[in-house]
């Protein structure tokens, strides 16, 4: 279950006041992960909160990390007409994202790859949130 206390324990930034966290939970004391994924909020903020071992098991986090990385590769491939400078930066970002896939910490792997991909394509968070919902429901990607 997701509660204000559990979200507060994640040390969110200052804009996440207790009142805002309560509003995110629609005034409820707690919410299931599945319900929380459907909250009307910025997908990036929902992803920041849920891509953690407190809420999602390591096997799913690891699968998400690979799915996010695969999408990142596609995003970078779409940018193949970039300047040499951008290609170099893109290559470094891919290399860094790939290195996180080997992290022992599945949470870290999922979170890094989620935000690497989204840093290149802001619409990516919507796909990522749908992917998390799919995995949680056992549908897969």
| 138 Cβ contact list (under 8 Å, min separation 6) | none
Under 8 Å between Cβ of 129 and 121: no
pLDDT, residue 102, reads 77
| In-domain check, residue 98 | yes
pLDDT at 33 over 90: yes
Number of domains in the chain: 1
Q: Kindly report the pTM of this predicted structure.
A: 0.80
Domain housing 111: 57-136
Q: Find how far residue 140's CA is from the centre of its chain.
A: 16
Could you tell me what percent of the chain has a pLDDT over 70? 89
| In-domain check, residue 67 | yes
pLDDT digits (tens, 9 = 90+) for 67-116: 888 888 887 777 666 655 566 667 777 787 777 777 777 778 788 777 77
pLDDT, residue 68, reads 87
| In-domain check, residue 3 | no
| 52 Cβ contact list (under 8 Å, min separation 6) | 10, 107, 111
């Amino acid at each position: 279950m997701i509660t204000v206390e559990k979200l507060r324990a994640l040390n969110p930034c200052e804009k996440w006041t207790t009142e805002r966290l309560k509003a995110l939970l629609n005034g409820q004391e707690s919410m299931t992960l599945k319900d929380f994924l459907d909250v009307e909020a910025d997908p990036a903020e929902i992803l920041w909160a849920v891509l953690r071992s407190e809420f999602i098991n390591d096997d799913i986090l690891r699968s998400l990390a690979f799915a996010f990385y695969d999408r990142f590769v596609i995003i970078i491939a779409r940018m193949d007409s970039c300047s040499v400078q951008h290609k170099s930066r893109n290559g470094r970002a891919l290399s860094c994202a790939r290195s996180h896939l080997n992290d022992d910490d599945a949470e870290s792997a999922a979170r890094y790859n989620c935000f690497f991909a989204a840093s290149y394509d802001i619409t990516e968070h919507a796909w990522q949130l749908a992917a998390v919902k799919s995995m949680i429901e056992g549908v897969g990607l």
